[in-house]
Amino acid sequence: MERPSLRGSPDRIFISVDESTGISTVSFFPADVGAPFQRSDDRDGALALADAKAILARYPSCTIHGPHFHAARPARAKPRKRGP
């Protein structure tokens, strides 16, 4: 992983994993500390958790929340016309 450049110390690191696509996202609180980044092919969140632990080593006062698993919202169904 290329280390993200942070503009300060994060209070919290969040990990979320989209089970349907296998993409994990690491984000920060407060949000202005750094931009979120994603890892592909990470269905179990292990890569994102390793990234978060590497960041935690640099900023030991922050906490890790997750990984939280979710599925992408399914596409909306097209409305059907009702006939007489």
Average pLDDT over residues 7-22: 94
Let me know if residue 3 belongs to a domain: no
- Give residue 56's pLDDT band: very low, low, confident or very high (50, 70, 90): very high
For 75, phi then psi, to 5°, come to -60, 145
> What is the token pair recorded at 35?
């931009």
Rounded Cα–Cα distance for residues 45 and 25 (Å): 9
Give the model's pLDDT for residue 23. Answer: 95
Let me know if residue 1 belongs to a domain: no
- 58 touches 10 (CB < 8 A): no
Per-residue pLDDT at 17 exceeds 70: yes
Give the model's pLDDT for residue 76. Answer: 72
Number of domains in the chain: 1
Give the model's pLDDT for residue 84. Answer: 64
- Give residue 4's pLDDT band: very low, low, confident or very high (50, 70, 90): confident
- 25 touches 42 (CB < 8 A): no
Domain region containing 44: 18-70
The whole-model pTM stands at: 0.80
